């Protein structure tokens, strides 16, 4: 029996779909938020580790306690910085871990090296490029954001529903998908128009960065993009009270490593441009330095926080 654990996002879904294309079969899978991986692994995988011929871990960071995943029947493909930093810890697992724009592109390059006969058609390549464009926050392709809207529009098992709709790659959007995208964009406009923003300064050494934070349980990345592009923050922080998760994004010119910031403030991780964590006491203490944005438009930031 084979099992695939993949990140519960667009990159994780397309990485899993690529693995299915390569294996020419549908592999049993579970999509997980990053913070859920360690507990799920300990409770559901480790007790049954010998029952699996192969276990694939895709687009999920294994940087925290890497020894947990170091089994001979485990293959890891990931591009997050905290995984890259611990790559040398793996002695038994096959660890294809390196800096990359996305895990789906890293997986494609890895499989291509292992099997030079691997060939994807135009539609399959377009789906990979769309997921890569979105995960890397370049947004050069007009359909990459809309692919993400479709992924998050599903209820229940998003992974399998997305893979069923795009099992042959990206051929353009159907009329139904276009209607979903239209609804999603309208909902995003409503969310953005009612945001409550809080502003402050985050200090690292002698440098101070403008942080703007808000609450949202919908379209996290779009909310963060709005904060960065329209408000002009260095770092956008979005708190999802429903999931008790915290998301970090940064502007293109900001030099802060968000994986480090998320780790120290919210017990999380990720990569340099995007990271996430949990709503813990350390993060709550940090938010006490933030003030309502309307009082800060001309002189943003209170006393700030540092680490």
Q: Where are the domains of the chain?
A: 2-179, 198-306
d(CA 142, CA 159): 22
C-alpha 304: how far from chain center:
27
- Work out the average pLDDT over 21-49: 95
CATH code assigned to 198-306: 3.10.310
What pLDDT does residue 136 have?
87
What pLDDT does residue 116 have?
87
pLDDT bucket at 252, cuts 50 / 70 / 90: confident
Q: How far is CA 277 from CA 21, 54, 266, in A?
A: 32, 29, 5
Three-state SS for 76? strand
> pLDDT (tens digit, 9 = 90+) per residue, 42-91?
999 999 999 999 999 999 999 888 999 999 999 999 999 889 999 999 99
Three-state SS for 198? strand
d(CA 74, CA 300): 48
H/E element, 3: strand 2-7
> pLDDT (tens digit, 9 = 90+) per residue, 197-234?
999 988 888 888 999 999 999 999 999 999 998 888 99
What pLDDT does residue 305 have?
44
User: What DSSP designation does 294 have?
Assistant: G
CA-wise closest residue to 293 among 206, 220, 232, 203: 232
- Work out the average pLDDT over 134-143: 89
Statement: residue 296 has pLDDT above 50: no
Angle at CA of residue 138, ends 212 and 293, nearest 5°:
10
Tokens 């007790």 correspond to what residue?
A: 47
Contacts of 168 (CB under 8 A, 6+ apart): 123, 124
Contact 304, 289 (CB under 8 A): yes
Statement: residue 295 has pLDDT above 50: no
């Amino acid at each position: 029996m084979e099992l695939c654990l993949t990140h519960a996002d667009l990159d994780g879904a397309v990485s899993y779909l690529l693995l299915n294309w390569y294996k020419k079969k549908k592999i049993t899978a579970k999509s997980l938020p990053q913070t859920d991986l360690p507990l799920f692994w300990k409770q559901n995988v480790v007790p049954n580790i010998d029952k699996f011929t192969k276990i694939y871990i895709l687009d999920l960071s294994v940087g925290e306690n890497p020894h947990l995943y170091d089994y001979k029947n485990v293959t890891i493909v990931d591009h997050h910085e905290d995984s890259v930093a611990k790559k040398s810890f793996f002695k038994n697992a096959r660890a294809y871990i390196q800096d990359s724009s996305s895990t789906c592109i890293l997986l494609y390059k890895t499989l291509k090296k292992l099997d030079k006969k691997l060939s994807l058609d135009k539609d399959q390549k377009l789906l990979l490029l769309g997921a890569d464009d979105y995960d890397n926050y370049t947004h050069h392709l007009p359909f990459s954001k809309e692919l993400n809207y479709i992924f998050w529009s599903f209820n229940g098992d998003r992974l399998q529903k997305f893979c069923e709709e795009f099992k042959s790659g990206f051929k353009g959007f159907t009329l139904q998908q276009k209607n979903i995208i239209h609804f999603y964009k309208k909902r995003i406009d409503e969310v953005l128009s009612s945001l409550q923003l809080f502003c402050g300064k985050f200090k690292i050494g002698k440098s101070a960065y403008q942080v703007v934070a808000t609450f949202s349980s919908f379209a996290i990345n779009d909310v963060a993009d709005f904060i960065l592009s329209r408000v002009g923050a260095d770092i956008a922080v979005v708190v999802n009270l429903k999931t008790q998760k915290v998301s970090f994004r940064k502007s293109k010119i900001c030099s802060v490593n968000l994986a480090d910031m998320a780790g120290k403030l919210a017990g999380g991780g990720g990569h340099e441009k995007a990271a996430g964590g949990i709503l813990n006491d350390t993060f709550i203490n940090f938010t006490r330095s933030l003030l309502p944005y309307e009082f800060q438009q001309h002189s943003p930031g209170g006393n700030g926080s540092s680490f």
